[in-house]
Amino acid sequence: MTRKIKVLEVIRQGQIGGGESHLLDLIYYFDKEVIEPVCLSFSKGEMISRLNNMGITCYVIDTEKPFDIKVQQRIIRLLKDEGIQIVHAHGSRAASNVLYPTRKLGLPLVYTVHGWSFHDDQSFFVKTLRAWSEKLICHYADEVICVSQSNADTGQKVFGLKSAVVIENGVNLDRFNPDIQYEDLRTAFGFASSDFIVGFIARCTKQKNPLVFLEAIKLAHHNNVQIKGLFIGEGDMDAEVDAFIESNQMREYIYRSPFRTDVPELLNCIDVYCLPSLWEGLSIALLEAMAMKKAIVATPTDGTIELIEHEKNGLIVPYNDPKAAAESFCRFLTERQLKATCSNAARQIVKERFDAKRVAACVQKIYHQLLK
C-alpha cells in the first residue's frame, strides 16, 4: 500500500475568512486515501472546530507576529513528531513563521498567496518592507501558488517574482447552490418582503472597507427607502462601524451581526452583494455570492477584475467611492433586467471555472510533483 503524503496546512488564524474557507474546502476535497492533512493555526476559531469535526488533527500555536522566533522550536517539534513531508502555508503571516523550520528540516514549502501583504495605501517604508518579506518567502518556497493571474503579475512587477503557478480559488458548489430551499432569514432580521437588501458579509477590517459600504447604504436609502443593508462580520473596526451606524441613525434600515456560519442562508436573503475592498487576491466571499446568483457591486481589486465584467456579471465601482456604490445599488433596484442578467452570468462563470474540487486536485498534483 502506498504511503499517504502527510501535509501540514498552515494558516494565520482560526477565525473564518476567505483564506480559511479556502483551506476548509481544500482539505474537504483532498483524496484522503492519498493525502493526510494536518492543520496548524496561530489562533483558535470556528475553522479549527470544523476541521476537528471532519476528523482532521489540528494544532494551535498562539502568535500574532510574523517571523516570530519564539515559536520556531515548537513548530520544528511539531513537524518532527507528526512526520510531516510537505508544508503548505496559506498567506504571508503563516509562511513567515514556517520558513525557518522548513529550511532547517529540508522540507518542501508551498506558499499560497491570498493577496499580497503590500498595497498602495501603505507608507513607502511599510510597503517596501512587506514587499521584501514577500520576496524572501517566495525565494525560498519550492512552489508559489497565486489565486489569480493579476496577483502573479503584481508580484512580478513589484519585486520580480520569478515563477508562480496560478490556481484560481474555488467554491463548494454543493453548499452554495441557489436551487436549495433555505431558511427565510429576511423576516428574522426585520426586513419586509418589498425591501431591497444589499449585503456586506466579510471581516470588519480596513482591507474590506466597511465604512464605505455603510456610507453607500446611507446614500442609497435616502434615495429610495426600499434599499436596506445587511452587515455580517467582525474585526478590528467593530467600534468604528458601530459608531458610524449610531451617529447616522441607521439602525432602522441596517441589520448588524457578528460572524455567522450560515453564509448560504445569509446570501439567499439578499438582493445584492457588495465588496468595496482596497485589495484582494481572489475573494472567496465574492465567489460564494456569485455562486448563489447574487448581483455584485465591487471594486477593481486584483482578482475581482478577472471575475467581474462591468454590466455583464456585476458592476465595478471606483475605490473609496460610496456615491458610485450607492448609484449601483439603485441601478440594480430599478433596472431589473440588468440585475437578472448579471446574477445569472455570475452563477454561470463560477460553475464553469471556480469549483473547489478542481482546486484540490491541482494542489494535490503539486504535492506529488514535489515528492518525486
For residues 134 and 294, the answer to whether their CB atoms sit within 8 Å is no
Query: How many whole angstroms separate alpha carbon 185 and alpha carbon 189?
Result: 6
pTM: 0.85
Pair (135, 217) in one structural domain? no
Query: How many whole angstroms separate alpha carbon 102 and alpha carbon 109?
Result: 7
Residue 274 pairs with which residues in a beta bridge? 297
The helix (H) or strand (E) run that includes residue 6 is: strand 5-11
Indicate whether 224 belongs to any domain.
yes
Pair (302, 157) in one structural domain? no
Q: Does residue 354 carry a pLDDT above 60?
A: yes
Indicate whether 177 belongs to any domain.
no
Query: How many whole angstroms separate alpha carbon 293 and alpha carbon 350?
Result: 10
Instruction: State residue 288's pLDDT score.
Output: 95
Indicate whether 220 belongs to any domain.
yes
Q: State the SS3 of 59-113.
A: EECCCCCCCCHHHHHHHHHHHHHHCCCEEEEECHHHHHHHHHHHHHHCCCEEEEE
Indicate whether 258 belongs to any domain.
yes
- What average pLDDT does the segment 270-274 reach? 98
Q: Does residue 68 carry a pLDDT above 60?
A: yes
Pair (90, 155) in one structural domain? yes
Pair (73, 124) in one structural domain? yes
Instruction: State residue 1's pLDDT score.
Output: 47
- What average pLDDT does the segment 354-367 reach? 95
Query: How many whole angstroms separate alpha carbon 135 and alpha carbon 154?
Result: 12
For residues 317 and 276, the answer to whether their CB atoms sit within 8 Å is yes
Pair (333, 205) in one structural domain? yes
Q: Does residue 96 carry a pLDDT above 50?
A: yes
Instruction: Tell me, rounded to whole angstroms, the distance of Cα 175 from its chain centroid.
Output: 16
Pair (127, 56) in one structural domain? yes
Indicate whether 189 belongs to any domain.
no
Which residue segment(s) compose the domain that 290 sits in? 196-353
Instruction: Give the count of alpha carbons within 13 A of 235, CB side only.
Output: 20
Q: Does residue 161 carry a pLDDT above 50?
A: yes
Instruction: State residue 281's pLDDT score.
Output: 83
Instruction: State residue 192's pLDDT score.
Output: 94
Nearest to 116 by CA among 299, 288, 276, 302: 302
Pair (343, 359) in one structural domain? no
Instruction: State residue 2's pLDDT score.
Output: 61
Instruction: Tell me, rounded to whole angstroms, the distance of Cα 237 from its chain centroid.
Output: 18
Starting from the edge strand earliest in sequence, which strands make up the sheet with 5-11, in order? 57-60, 35-41, 5-11, 86-90, 109-113, 143-146, 165-166
The CATH number that applies at residue 336 is 3.40.50.2000
pLDDT digits (tens, 9 = 90+) for 182-201: 988 999 999 999 999 999 99
> Which 3 state secondary structure label does DSSP give 15?
coil
Percent of the chain, pLDDT > 70?
99
pLDDT digits (tens, 9 = 90+) for 232-246: 999 999 999 999 999
Q: Does residue 338 carry a pLDDT above 90?
A: yes
> Which 3 state secondary structure label does DSSP give 114?
coil
What does 292-332 look like in DSSP terms, one character per residue? TT-EEEE---TTHHHH--BTTTBEE--TT-HHHHHHHHHHH
The helix (H) or strand (E) run that includes residue 37 is: strand 35-41
**Cα angle vertex 268, ends 56, 146, to 5°?**
50
**If you search the block for the grid coordinates 513607502, which residue do you land on?**
124
For residues 38 and 82, the answer to whether their CB atoms sit within 8 Å is yes
Indicate whether 187 belongs to any domain.
no
The residue ranking higher by pLDDT, 150 or 6, is 6
- The bridge status of strand 227-232 relative to strand 196-201 is parallel
> Which 3 state secondary structure label does DSSP give 237?
coil
Number of structural domains (the chain) is 2
Q: What is the mean pLDDT of the chain?
A: 95
Pair (147, 205) in one structural domain? no
Query: How many whole angstroms separate alpha carbon 32 and alpha carbon 57?
Result: 13
* Rg over CA atoms, the chain: 21
Amino acid at the residue 88: H
